[in-house]
Structure 1
C-alpha cells in the first residue's frame, strides 16, 4: 500500500504533466527534508541555526545589492523555501485551488511562466523597495525573503484577471468572485507594507503585477510564455492531388475564438458553454 502511494505521488508530481502538482510536490518535499534536518539543531538548543544561518542566508533572496553577485541564484531558490508550517500550508492550498482553475482555461506552459516569473517579479520589487525607501536602511544588510507567496499571488491574480466573475465557495464567506478575492489580498498586502513583514508584502505585490500584466497582454495577443514553447514538429502528409506538404503537428486553435469563449465564461459561467465551445477550449489547453 505504501509502495502504491509513493508511486502515485511520484506520478502526479513528476510524470502527470500537471504543473500544480509539480510545484506543490517540490515545495512540500523541500520543506519536509529541511524540517527533518532541523531536528538535531533543535535538540542541541540551536533550533534557529538551520533557518536563520543556512536557509535564509544561502537560499533566501537578499535585500542587499552587495550580496547579489554571490547569491544571484536565490531569485529562484527563495520561491521553494518556507518559514514554518502555516506559511507553506496556506500557499499550497491557494496554489491548488487557483492553479487548477487556471489550468482549466490555459496551458501548463503558461502556468510555468506565471509561477516562475511571478516569483522573480516579487523578488525584484522587494529588492527595489528595500534599496529605495530610507525606512529599510537599517535592516537592509541582513534582510532576506523566502516563500512561494509571490509566485502563488501571480497565479491568483492571473486567474482572477482572466476570469473575474468566476466564483468559488469559501468557508464563512460563501460564494466569492475571484476579482474580489484578489482585490482583498492586494489591499492586505498594501497595508502590510507598513508592518514588520513589509518585504513579503512587496514581493506579493510584485507577483500580483506580473500576473495581471501577463493576462492583459495575453488577451491582446502577446504570450510571454512562448519562451518555453518547443519548436513545432513538421510531418509530411499527402493532399488530394498526391503532393506532399509540410504541416505542423499541433495546429493551434484560433486565439480570437478562445478570447470569445473566455469572455463568455466571465459573463455567464462555464456551464453556459456549448459542447463545441468546451471541446475548443479543451483542445486549446492541450496545444
Structure 2
C-alpha cells in the first residue's frame, strides 16, 4: 500500500483515535497515583486485564451489556483501590520525606508483586487462553470509513471520561486539591489540604479508570491474563509526554501515541507493534523526560 494512501486513510485515523482514547484512559489512573504519591504502579495494566474479564463474564454469563456493566466494574475497581490504599500502601506514605526514594522503590516492588499475583491468579481461574466476544459489531459507514459500533462506543466513553476528569481537576475544589498535591505536596499540606483524602481518592479514581478501560478494551480485541503489561508501558509513555497532573496534555499525548502505533503498524508489520511501543517509551525518556509542556509551564 503506497505511503500517501496510508497517511491519508480515514480508516486508520479512526483506529488511531480509538487506540489513543483507551491509552488516555489507562494513563489517567497512572497519572493520578504517581502524581499524588510518587508510587510506580506497574500493576496498572493488570487492572485493565481484570476489567476486561469482568466485562467478558458479565456479558457471557449474565447477558449484561458491557456498557451497562462498565460503571459497576469501575465502582468495584474504586473499592479495590481504596481497600489496597488503606490496608497496605498507606503505610508506605508514612515514611519520612528523606526516605522518599526508598518509598518509591518499595512501592515498585509491591506493585510488581501484585502484578505477578494478579496474572497468575487470573491464569489459574480463567486459564491462560485468549478470550473474546462479539458485541455491537455492526458496521457503520461514513464516507469511505467503516466503523463498528463497539469502537464508536469505546471512543465516546473513554474520551468523555477523560474530559470529565480534566474538568473535575480544573473546576472542583476536590480536583484542585488533587492538583495541588501533585504540584506541591508539602505546600498543599501546609495550607490545610487533606492529603490523606486526596491520596485515597486518587487511588480509587486511578483503579476505577483502569477497570473501565478494561471493559472497553474487551469489546474490541482478544485478551488474556498476560495482556496488561503493554497498557502499563503505554500509560507511562503518555505520562512522560504529557507531564504529571496535566490530563488534557495527556489526552493529546495518548492520541499521538495511538497515531504512531496505528500508522507505524500499517507502514511496517503488526509483528512490530511491541517494538514501536517500546521504541516510543525509550524515545520519550530521552527527548521529553519532563513532558512536552515542561518548558511552557516553567516560564509561567
**What TM-score results when the alignment is normalised by the length of structure 1?**
0.27
User: Which has the larger Rg?
Assistant: 1
Which is richer in strand? 1
